[in-house]
């Protein structure tokens, strides 16, 4: 593998695979230290409440406009122009069809105009490599990626070497939080709203299931939790004619505790499978918006302390979707000699670990964009 050690690398990252559009510039100094020169995220959170859910941007034109603006702002804030860059990294998947395609087209346009090399990045690799950007973490490490659309354990052995140890077989926890909020009439996004309510709730009042704990391995299921929550809610409504504030708080606390317990137990199993013969000081790194939930984070930290495992959570802005992680993953791939050209295609489905048996399907055709 061709790793060039003593070279400054400056890479523009572009991310538009999910609900946010983002651009960032990251520089790797000759001493190996990384610096985020700029990181711009054009989010849509302010629009969410009205729809009871996150509203994705599907229109290709709107994406293109936002992307142009993000790239321009990121370069301005970094006080650089394209000529100062060494490469352009872009999320080529997985994610929303229109978004991924728009990002790839934008990056190709910039690369063609500037003559800069293009590096396609897997969005999940961006998350998985972030602890190396923020904390210079060495390989290998165990990553728990837990967000609105994802939930999986990854063993990270190299910039392009990932092993999926397990994941959700239905809903992701972030989605379960959103749906819980919907069922209880709370604001979106559901994560912060449920956490806020849960703070004054009794997590023991409702006995929610801990799905799949009876099964070996690291796979998880969160779909049944919302059914259990619905049932508990309806039982209270039938009994009292409605939900009090306290009922709602208790439901939120019970739900959150169930998610926390499942994640803790499955993390324990993943660490057992991961640590074994390998790392003297195993590290669990987390990423994704759900990792910001204080109860879940506290549970994972306690687990790691008990097991003598290092716990690492990058700052929230770098845990949720952003382009700095894409620029960084681009730098890592670039250093390994990876280059893409104008044939780089958008991959709405792109499993990180192509060896794992149960993976998302393939054969996605192109979108209208």
Partner 1 sequence: MPADTPLLSTVLHSEADTARLARRVAPMLRPGDVILLEGPIGAGKSLFARALIQSLLTTPEDVPSPTFTLVQTYATPDFEIWHADLYRLGSPDEVIELGLIDAFDTGVCLIEWPDRLGEMTPENAVTLRLSHGDQPDDRQLTVFATDPRWQALAKEVQPHV
* Contact map string, positions 150 to 169, toward partner 1, x by CB under 8 A: -----------------xxx
- Nearer to partner 1 by Cβ, of 232 and 338: the residue is 232
Ranges within 72-131 binding partner 1 (CB under 8 A): 94-98
DSSP 8-state symbol, 158: E
- Which letter does DSSP use for residue 289 in this model? G
Judge whether 212 and 222 are in contact, CB under 8 Å: no
What is the Cα–Cα distance from 113 to 108, expressed in whole angstroms? 8
Q: Nearest to residue 116, comparing CAs of 151, 71, 146?
A: 71
Residues with Cβ within 8 Å of 312's Cβ and at least 6 positions away in sequence, in order, are 131, 135, 137, 141, 283, 284, 285, 286
The site map against partner 1 for 276-305 (x = CB under 8 A) is ------------------------------
Give the whole-angstrom CA distance, residue 246 versus residue 14: 44
Q: What are phi and psi of 26, to 5 degrees?
A: -125, 140
Nearest CB to partner 1, comparing residues 278 and 360: 360
Q: Does 366 bind partner 1 (CB under 8 A)?
A: yes
Q: Does 194 contact partner 1 by CB under 8 A?
A: no
Residue 189 interacts with partner 1 (CB under 8 A): yes or no? no
Rule CB under 8 A: is residue 355 a binding residue for partner 1? no
Q: In whole angstroms, how close is the CB of 90 to partner 1 at the nearest point?
A: 19
Residue 59 or 316 with smaller CB distance to partner 1: 59
Based on CB atoms, which residue is closest to partner 1, 86 or 175? 175
Q: How far apart are CA 116 and CA 120, in angstroms?
A: 13
- Indicate left, alpha or beta for 28 from its phi (over 0: left) and psi (-120 to 50: alpha): beta
Nearest approach, Cβ of 23 to partner 1 (angstroms)?
Answer: 22
Closest by CA to 41, choosing from 314, 293, 316, 292, is 316
Of 170, 202, 261, 301, the residue at the interface with partner 1 (CB under 8 A) is: 170
How many chain residues interact with partner 1 (CB under 8 A)? 49
Distance CA 287, CA 11 (A): 22
Among positions 8, 45, 200, 227, the unique one binding partner 1 when judged by CB under 8 A: 227
Would you count residue 337 as binding partner 1 (CB under 8 A)?
no
What is the C-alpha R_g of the chain? 21
- In this structure, the strands spanning 118-122 and 151-158 are unpaired
Q: Which of residues 239-258 bind partner 1 (CB under 8 A)?
A: none
Tell the smallest beta-carbon distance from residue 76 to partner 1 (Å).
30
Under the binding rule (CB under 8 A), the answer on residue 20 touching partner 1 is: no
3-state secondary structure of 192: helix
In whole angstroms, the minimum distance from the beta carbon of 185 to partner 1 comes to 12
Q: Interface residues with partner 1 (CB under 8 A)?
A: 18, 51, 53-56, 58-60, 94-98, 148-149, 167-172, 174-175, 178-179, 182-183, 223, 226-227, 230-231, 234, 348-349, 357-369
């Amino acid at each position: 593998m061709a790793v060039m050690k003593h070279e400054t690398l400056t890479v523009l990252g572009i991310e538009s695979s999910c609900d946010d559009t983002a651009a960032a510039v990251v520089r790797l100094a000759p001493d190996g230290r990384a610096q985020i020169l700029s990181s711009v995220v054009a989010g849509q959170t302010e629009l969410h409440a009205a729809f009871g859910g996150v509203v994705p941007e599907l229109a290709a034109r709107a994406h293109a406009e936002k992307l142009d603006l993000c790239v321009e702002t990121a370069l301005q804030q970094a006080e650089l122009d394209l000529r100062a860059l060494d490469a352009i990294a872009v999320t080529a998947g997985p994610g929303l069809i229109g978004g991924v395609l728009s990002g790839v087209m934008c990056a190709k346009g910039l690369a063609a105009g500037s003559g800069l090399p293009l590096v396609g990045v897997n969005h999940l690799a961006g998350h998985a490599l972030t602890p190396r950007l923020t904390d210079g973490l060495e390989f290998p490490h165990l990553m728990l990626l837990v967000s609105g659309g994802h939930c999986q354990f990854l063993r990270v052995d190299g910039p392009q070497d990932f092993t999926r140890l397990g994941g959700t077989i239905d809903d992701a926890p972030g989605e379960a939080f959103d749906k819980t909020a919907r069922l209880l009439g709370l604001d979106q996004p559901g994560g912060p709203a449920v956490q806020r309510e849960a703070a004054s709730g009794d997590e023991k009042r409702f006995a929610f299931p801990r799905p799949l704990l009876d099964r070996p391995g690291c796979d998880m299921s969160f779909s049944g939790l919302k059914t259990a929550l619905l049932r508990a809610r309806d039982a209270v409504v039938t009994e009292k004619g409605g939900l009090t504030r306290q009922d709602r708080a208790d439901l939120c606390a019970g739900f959150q505790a169930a998610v926390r317990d499942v994640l803790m137990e499955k993390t324990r199993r993943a660490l057992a499978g991961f640590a074994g013969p390998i790392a003297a000081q195993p590290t669990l790194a987390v990423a994704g918006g759900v990792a910001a939930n204080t109860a879940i984070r506290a549970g994972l930290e306690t687990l790691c302390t008990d097991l003598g495992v290092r716990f690492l959570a990058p700052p929230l802005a770098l845990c949720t979707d952003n382009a700095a992680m894409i620029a960084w993953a681009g730098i890592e791939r670039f250093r390994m000699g990876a280059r893409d050209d104008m044939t780089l295609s958008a991959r709405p489905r792109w499993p990180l670990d192509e060896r794992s048996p149960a993976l998302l399907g393939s054969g996605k055709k192109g979108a209208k964009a």
